[in-house]
Structure formats: structure tokens, C-alpha cells
């Protein structure tokens, strides 16, 4: 993989995700619970935001020559989340595809517009960092895989849940 193929792929996945969110539309629908268990699209977007912020921070560490070490103890894992406001998504102690309910709780009283604004900023930070990083830095730090894990894979999971919810709404109307 290289940046010439990765960045357009990332943008295509992002465009599909944004298109679906725009399709849903009204902020009232974005905050309705029941999209995934008792969560709303806003809650799912908060999860996406924290994953993007996690990888944006790791990319900036690489840019500045700083080292990141995954949390290998429960204490380190808990401290990482307290210090950063999101889990150590690359830790072996983190359930990769599971939504972290502490994250959802943290964003419960934050408005949808603020979450969207923060999420857009995190995505912009990822793009900016990826453009600045050299191909060798991307390879040395396995960034193509790591960025995909925290961006378009969560976009796909979230989109799947939103589409399932939209289809269930259609069948209720019929």
C-alpha cells in the first residue's frame, strides 16, 4: 500500500459515510435511540470521533518522533482513558469493535453539532498528518492498517447499523 492509493480510498469511504449521515438528515433522527441497541446515531458518531481522535493523536506522535506504547495492564489502560478521554484502541485489553460505553456517557450531554464539529476536525487532522508523513514513516509504523482500523472500518460498522435501522423504520411504516 502507498499514500497514492490509500488517501483516495480513505476519502471514498469517508464520502460514503457522510452521504449516509446526510441521508438521515434531521438532528431529531440523529438523536433517536434504538439505532443500535439503546444508542443513537449521535452516540455512534461519538464512538467514531474518539477512534479518529485516537489515531490522529498517534499520527501526530509519529510526526514529532514521539513513541506510543499500548496499554498492557488494566491500570495503564484505565489511566490512558482518563488522560486522553478515549480508550487505548490498539491495546490488547480493548475489545476492538465494541463500543466503549464510557465514551458514550462522556458525550451524552454534548450537542450533536459539537460532536460533528469535533469529528470533522479529527478527520481533518488525520488527513493533514497522513499528507505530511513520508511513505517510510507510514510503513515503519504500519499506518495504512492502523488508520484504516480507526477510520473506515468504524465508518462501515456504523453505516451497517444505520442502514439496518433505516430498513426497520421502512418496514414499520408499511
Helices 41-63 & 112-132 angle (0-180, nearest 10):
30
The pLDDT assigned to 145 comes to: 97
The pLDDT assigned to 171 comes to: 75
The pLDDT assigned to 28 comes to: 64
Helices 3-24 & 143-150 angle (0-180, nearest 10):
0
Q: How far apart are CA 152 and CA 9, in angstroms?
A: 9
The pLDDT assigned to 32 comes to: 87
Name residues of the chain where pLDDT drops below 50. Answer: none
Q: How far is CA 19 from the centre of its chain?
A: 16
pTM over 0.85: yes
Instruction: Read off the C-alpha cell for 56.
Output: 490522529
The pLDDT assigned to 39 comes to: 93
The pLDDT assigned to 29 comes to: 80
Q: How far apart are CA 16 and CA 13, in angstroms?
A: 5
The label of the residue with cell 510503513 reads 139
Amino acid at each position: 500500500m502507498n499514500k497514492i492509493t490509500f488517501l483516495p480510498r480513505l476519502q471514498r469511504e469517508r464520502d460514503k459515510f457522510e452521504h449516509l449521515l446526510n441521508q438521515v438528515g434531521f438532528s431529531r433522527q440523529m438523536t433517536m435511540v434504538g439505532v443500535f441497541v439503546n444508542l443513537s446515531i449521535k452516540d455512534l458518531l461519538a464512538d467514531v470521533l474518539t477512534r479518529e481522535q485516537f489515531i490522529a493523536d498517534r499520527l501526530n506522535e509519529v510526526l514529532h518522533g514521539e513513541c506510543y506504547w499500548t496499554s498492557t495492564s488494566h491500570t495503564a489502560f484505565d489511566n490512558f482513558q482518563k488522560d486522553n478521554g478515549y480508550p487505548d484502541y490498539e491495546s490488547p485489553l480493548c475489545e476492538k469493535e465494541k463500543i466503549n460505553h464510557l465514551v458514550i456517557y462522556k458525550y451524552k450531554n454534548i450537542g450533536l453539532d459539537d460532536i460533528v464539529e469535533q469529528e470533522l476536525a479529527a478527520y481533518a487532522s488525520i488527513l493533514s498528518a497522513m499528507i505530511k508523513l513520508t511513505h517510510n514513516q507510514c510503513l515503519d509504523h504500519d499506518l495504512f492498517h492502523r488508520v484504516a482500523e480507526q477510520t473506515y472500518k468504524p465508518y462501515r460498522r456504523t453505516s451497517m447499523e444505520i442502514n439496518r435501522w433505516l430498513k426497520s423504520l421502512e418496514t414499520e411504516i408499511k
